[in-house]
Amino acid sequence: MFGVLILELLTGRRLVEYGEDSFVILSDHVRVLLEQGNVLKCIDPTMEEEYSEDEVLPFLKLVLVCTSQIPSNLPTMAKIVQILQAISSSVPHYHRMLDSFSKSSVLI
Percent of the chain, pLDDT > 70? 81
Total domain count, the chain: 1
Whether the Cβ atoms of residue 73 and residue 65 lie closer than 8 Å to each other: yes
pLDDT tens digits for range 67-87: 888 889 899 999 999 888 888
Q: Please state, rounded to an integer, the average pLDDT across all residues of the chain.
A: 79
The domain containing residue 83 runs over which residues?
2-105
Q: pLDDT at position 36, please?
A: 93
pLDDT band at 92 (very low <50, low <70, confident <90, very high): low
**Apex CA 85: angle with CA 15 and CA 88, to 5°?**
80
Residue 97: give its domain's CATH number: 1.10.510.10
Rounded Cα gap, residues 37 and 40, in angstroms:
9
